[in-house]
Structure 1
């Protein structure tokens, strides 16, 4: 008789690796939360803010002339980003200017914390624990919020800061906010994974009920 060969499937993420990654994510969450608090603290204690603005077309063309570039060479792009330091701003404008970075860091903290909870159950051998679907839904929300809202807040904060500058003539700076579908698509993917975990948990409960 020929004995059947037994094959062992190596897990993609073993208990030790899951535990190590969970600890790493917890450290990331704590660091991001501390950085967010630091950003807001800076907005409260400083009387100025640094905002991202873009050089206007007239300034860009003027730079072409001043740089004395060789014939045929020119600066490309209609929007050239620069950091603008705006002093003597009221508290609400300073906090608004910092809110985009703070929200991004808080989203990273929440997403990392939620994903760490999932990895802890993987380490414990319970990948389809009931709460994992909820934790993954939190991750999806953090991805969407952190990817879509901070650019809008940065743009609004930059507009508010520029409103306090007394610039004569044509303004040398403009504000601009871009929108990308990537965070929404990633959020949908994570939600799909969350639904798979939810159904896996329901199937695990059914199997336990039959035993």
Structure 2
């Protein structure tokens, strides 16, 4: 039986005269495919080998670089790509995959997370995916409360802060509650977030990652 694999295109790069290198994220990690002739306008692989496409192809087990064969486009996410703002936001998720995921991570689970976020896309999915991803890259936030009144959330402590504690908070109770929902609810259960709150949580996410990973993000 032919082995088939599915993947999300993270990046495309010209290769030799008419080919492209297609960098994907899959359930078994990072894969690089050589799309022969895909720089030619008439080649059917040209439309398949594009950024943020969800594609399926013939797998070559135990290899991380091989020829693209019997490839087909599953979804091109044109509703995202046709809007500059939506594309810019959705691209954040693909950037996290490339910046923070290593060969030894739980690819099956992480791939499912990003696949579902793209298929059920709304801007709130970007934050939801990002906060869900934290536990897989080793920087989870402690969000389980013990019943005491909550003051908010500390970036440096990576945990909930209670009213009785003399600790600085980076998110207040309302913002912390929304972060909790984004972390634990499925994408389809997440409601629209007003821009002011969305931007506050996004700013917190960037500050959190920069502080704990020492990686400068733009």
Q: Same fold (TM over 0.5)?
A: no
Using structure 1 for the length normalisation, give the TM-score. Answer: 0.21
Q: Which has the higher strand share?
A: 2
Q: Highest relative contact order (Cα 8 Å, sep 6+), 1 or 2?
A: 1
- In our comparison, the structure showing a higher alpha carbon Rg is 1
Using structure 2 for the length normalisation, give the TM-score. Answer: 0.21
